[in-house]
Amino acid sequence: MKAAIINQYGDSNELSVVDDYVNPTITDNQVLIKTYATSVNPIDYKARQGALKSMFNWQFPVVLGWDIAGIVVEIGDDVTDFTVGDRVFARPDMDDTGAFGSYATLMAVNADKVALMPETMSFAEAAALPLAGETALQMLNELHVTAGSKVLIQAGTGGVGIVAIQLAKAFGATVATTAGPENATFVRHLGADIVIDYHQKAITDVISQYDAVLDSVGDIDAGLAVLAHGGRIVTISAKPTPEQLAVATDNDQTLLAGWLQPNGQDLAKLAAYYQNDALKIVIDSKFPFTTAGVRAAHERIESHHARGKVVIEMVAE
């Protein structure tokens, strides 16, 4: 099969698409998916750079990628929820070896991480949703966001932020977010009630006494400062310090480091929001599955200027 590999840590030039990579084999509880599209997340380039190597015991060559959309071509003996030919998407489990990520034309995925795609959803849209969408949904649930909640969602134009704004509004919350002036109209169209231009104003100058904060930029201090007594903050971009945890405790606040727990049930919920027009998937750009295309996709996400998801297409639609 074709796969995009790295043979050492480094910049985007380490990525190379090869035609003769070994095919994955499935276990009894897995499905084999022919990949039509994948997407690039910040964790991808951080892993490529070696920033996460203490977390994994990978052996080169490594195939990156944690989002997949495609068609089931084989099912394991114990799989009952899917059949060959199903259009599916998933955020697969981490591969401990690093050998089988989603930057490949075939991928073996545990069936409990897979969901059926809505008929109206494109493969590019489906590939853009799993990691960012499941993270947004799970973090909002961790924050206990419900109707009437006031929630700050940092980085409204990021992959997680775009989904989180829309889901929070679907829950009935009041949503504040941070965005530059060029993106203010965009995040308002997603549902943001308050848009804070972080170039001009501090968050604490605009809002206060919020019930919940989703921190995706590592600004825990500002999140704590705008949080009400008894409020909740979850960060997906930093490790809370003992001092920050002490501040939260003193104010009866809950400060948590969030980590995605992928599962097909949450993907099915996201698919339902999409079908009910409560969730729009925003794609910044698409790149072909070539060495140049994969490198360009990484460079786009590393630029921090992408508005929405960066997608790599194995099969163009």
Q: Cis (ω within 30 of 0) for the bond into 61?
A: yes
**Mean per-residue pLDDT over the chain, rounded:** 97
* Residue 193: burial class (beta carbons within 10 Å; 0-12, 13-18, 19+): middle
Q: Could you tell me the pLDDT band of residue 55, with boundaries at 50, 70 and 90?
A: confident
Q: Report the SS3 class of residue 163.
A: helix
pLDDT over 80 (residue 5): yes
Q: What angle do CA 15, 131, 218 make, to 5 degrees?
A: 90
Strand 210-215 to 227-235 pairing: parallel
What is the percent of the chain where pLDDT is above 70? 100
Strand 106-110 to 68-75 pairing: unpaired
Q: Could you tell me the pLDDT band of residue 83, with boundaries at 50, 70 and 90?
A: very high
Provide the pLDDT for residue 54.
86
Q: Could you tell me the pLDDT band of residue 237, with boundaries at 50, 70 and 90?
A: very high
pLDDT over 80 (residue 317): no
Q: Is the pTM of this model over 0.85?
A: yes
Bridge partners of residue 37, in order along the sequence: 69, 313
Provide the pLDDT for residue 316.
81
Provide the pLDDT for residue 239.
95
Rounded to a whole number of angstroms, the distance between the first and last alpha carbons of the chain is 20
Q: What angle do CA 109, 237, 93 make, to 5 degrees?
A: 10
